[in-house]
Amino acid sequence: MTWIKTIPEAEATGELADAYARIQQQNRSISNITRAASINPPVMQALASLLHALRGPHCALGKRRQEMIAVLTSALHRCAY
């Protein structure tokens, strides 16, 4: 759960509901970091597109290396996320 005010998918309407639908279709899920931008749908969509470009299926690192980097980064920062 974030400390930042977010708007859950179930409560989203209009532009935000559309953004949630596009992100869900593009990424198959909505990350918490993307949800943190839910009070500003254009920023949320841009963030989701950036994350997809960095971590999407076309990434040269591959899913396994991406996960290893994420785990190491979290451990170094003492972050349970």
- Spatial separation of the C-alpha atoms in residues 24 and 6, rounded to whole Å: 16
At residue 15, does pLDDT exceed 70?
Answer: yes
- Spatial separation of the C-alpha atoms in residues 37 and 45, rounded to whole Å: 9
Q: Mean pLDDT over residues 11-29, rounded? A: 89
Q: Mean pLDDT over residues 58-73, rounded? A: 87
Tokens of 65: 């290396």
- Spatial separation of the C-alpha atoms in residues 33 and 14, rounded to whole Å: 21
pTM equals 0.68
Angle between helices 41-55 and 14-27 (to 10 degrees): 10
